[in-house]
């Protein structure tokens, strides 16, 4: 184990010195877990110096998904990013994108590695990845995530490694690195249960491609999740009770099915609520992100195995995992995102997917990316990969935002990410709308009656009455009046429809 002299040890500043204007870089990281830190900070500092000298210096940044402040945040503040894909959640990067300073390409996360290999994303000058160990013959043991790192390392001309001593080298064995062959040679992906392991523990590269190793000791820049509040707790309760009823009805097998859960406080609340329902048996996860609640349920035995792309947990939880590696070694596996999010595997395993919406319209279409149709929030992430291919597709959201001034239930979404054909169940704190086997008008009544906030139901019913003569209950001249009123007055309440 460990590096030797023929792979040069360098500083982060020396690594940044190798990066040129408009280089395209594939960074490790899927959430802040496993994201490169020291080298992007040094690149940001270099950008500031270059700009002060009147020279252009901006790079093209691709990652697995979102990252931490040392990568997205630092580079955005330094105005060092000309292009960003496929997903982000940093406020500074979001601001740069929405102000038009950084071009952003939103992508289904399952497509990122293969599109890189296909050449659709252009030439990769560099891969910059965080590792818990590196060997003299080019074996890279990743840290707390996998993301798109295997394909970036394959495609890049050169590789820079952050050897982060915060993550123990004993993580070897937690990763399952597998890249499918590209068409026309691709075969089935032989995963038949979440616990199946089909690849290597390491990324294997030609050691001559590694331009340098930067040693660090930096924790992941993850934060603790909020405790469930009244709204998120109620959403979690509704989801858990709905799933328990589906088992009782026989629509879900009595032994249950693997679960995918999105990222954030609602997802944690849903998982916590599922643990409290005795009618839901112990289950497995096949998801992108393993969060705090999943680790707690692994400890209790409610989750028997968790397959993910990253271990995105609070610092105290990660410490607990690292202190009990042998317990978790047989219960957790980390995979590349094109495997965790692969449509073939999702459909084969019968995944129950639970993801978060920004807004939902009365037809059942979901917007999960844009505020008022134009301002990017984070990106589509993996929600589409799972929603389009899952056994059961559930979307959750609070029914209102901004102190009740915005209704999450609207006549027509201002941006469409998931059409009604991929959305089966909507859940807010007010209730559940099961859209399976229902007509568009039935969709509308269920969503308004069960999910909309009481303050908005009358207006939404009025809108529906205006359009009942058509198959799809929409009135184009009025579809965005709630959004327009918010833009003018700061509230969607008290909208007045006309039959024009």
Q: Which two tokens stand for residue 387?
A: 């929603």
* Phi, psi (deg, nearest 5) at residue 454: -55, -35
Q: Report how far apart, in Å, the C-alpha atoms of 35 and of each of 27, 39, 41, 115, 310 are.
A: 7, 10, 12, 21, 10
Residue 435: partners with Cβ closer than 8 Å, 6 or more residues away = 364, 420, 423, 424, 425, 426, 442, 443, 446, 447
CB-based contact 333:175 (threshold 8 Å)? yes
Residue 33: closest CA among 335, 309, 310: 310
Q: Which two tokens stand for residue 463?
A: 């809108």
CB-based contact 318:224 (threshold 8 Å)? no
DSSP run (H or E) holding 155: helix 149-155
DSSP code for 71: I
Residue 479: closest CA among 325, 362, 384: 362
CA dihedral 85, 89, 92, 93 (to 10 degrees): 10
Q: How far apart are CA 310 and CA 325, in angstroms?
A: 15
Q: Report how far apart, in Å, the C-alpha atoms of 250 and of each of 246, 254, 255, 276 are.
A: 6, 7, 11, 20
Known catalytic residues are: 288
Q: How far apart are CA 434 and CA 413, in angstroms?
A: 19
Residue 479: partners with Cβ closer than 8 Å, 6 or more residues away = 411, 412
Q: How far apart are CA 299 and CA 302, in angstroms?
A: 8
Cis upstream peptide for 86 (omega within 30°): yes
The alpha carbon of residue 4 and the mean position of all alpha carbons in its chain are separated, in whole angstroms, by 36
Residue 104: partners with Cβ closer than 8 Å, 6 or more residues away = 83, 84, 85, 88, 97, 376, 379
Using the Cα atoms of residue 230, residue 232, residue 234 and residue 236 in order, give the sign of their dihedral: negative
């Amino acid at each position: 184990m460990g590096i030797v002299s023929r792979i040069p040890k360098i500083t982060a500043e020396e690594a940044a010195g190798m990066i040129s204007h408009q280089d395209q870089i594939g960074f490790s990281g899927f959430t802040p877990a496993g994201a490169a830190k020291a080298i992007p900070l040094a690149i940001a500092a270099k950008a500031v110096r270059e700009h002060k000298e009147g020279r252009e210096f901006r790079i093209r940044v691709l990652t697995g998904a979102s990252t931490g402040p040392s990568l997205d945040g630092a580079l955005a503040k330094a105005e060092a990013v000309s292009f960003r894909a496929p997903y982000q959640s940093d406020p500074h990067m979001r601001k740069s994108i929405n102000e038009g300073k950084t071009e952003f390409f939103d992508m289904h996360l399952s497509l990122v590695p293969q599109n890189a290999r296909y050449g659709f994303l252009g030439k990769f000058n560099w891969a910059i990845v965080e590792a818990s160990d590196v060997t003299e013959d080019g074996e890279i043991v990743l840290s707390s995530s996998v993301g798109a790192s295997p394909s970036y390392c394959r495609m890049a001309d050169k590789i820079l490694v952050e050897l982060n001593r915060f993550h123990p080298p004993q993580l070897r064995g937690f990763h399952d690195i597998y890249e499918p062959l590209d068409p026309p040679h691709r075969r089935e992906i032989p995963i038949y249960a979440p616990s199946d392991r089909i690849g290597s523990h390491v990324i294997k590269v030609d050691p001559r491609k590694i331009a340098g190793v930067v040693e660090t000791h930096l924790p992941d820049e993850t934060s603790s999740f909020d405790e469930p509040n009244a709204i998120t707790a109620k959403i979690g309760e509704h989801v858990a009770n709905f799933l328990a009823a589906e088992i009782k009805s026989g629509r879900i097998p009595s032994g249950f099915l693997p679960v995918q859960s999105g990222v954030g406080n609602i997802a944690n609340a849903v998982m916590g609520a599922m643990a409290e329902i005795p009618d839901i048996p112990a289950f497995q996860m096949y998801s992108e992100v393993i969060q705090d609640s999943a680790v707690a349920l692994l400890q209790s035995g409610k989750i028997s195995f968790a397959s993910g792309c990253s271990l995105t947990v609070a610092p105290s939880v990660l410490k607990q995992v690292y202190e009990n590696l042998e317990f978790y070694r047989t219960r957790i596996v980390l995979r590349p995102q094109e495997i965790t999010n692969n449509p073939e595997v999702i459909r084969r395993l019968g995944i129950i997917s639970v993801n978060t919406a920004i807004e939902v319209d009365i037809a059942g279409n979901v917007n999960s990316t844009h505020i008022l149709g134009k301002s990017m929030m984070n990106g589509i992430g993996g929600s589409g990969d799972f929603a389009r291919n899952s056994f059961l597709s559930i979307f959750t959201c609070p029914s209102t935002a901004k102190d009740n001034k915005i209704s999450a239930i609207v006549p027509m979404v201002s941006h469409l990410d998931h059409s009604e054909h991929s959305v089966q169940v909507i859940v807010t704190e007010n209730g559940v709308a099961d859209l399976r086997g229902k007509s568009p008008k039935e969709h509308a009544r269920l969503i308004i009656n069960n999910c909309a906030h009481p303050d908005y139901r009358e207006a939404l019913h009025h809108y529906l009455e205006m359009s009942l003569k058509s198959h799809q209950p929409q009135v184009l001249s009025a579809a965005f009046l709630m959004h327009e009123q918010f833009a003018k007055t700061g509230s969607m309440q008290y909208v007045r429809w006309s039959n024009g």
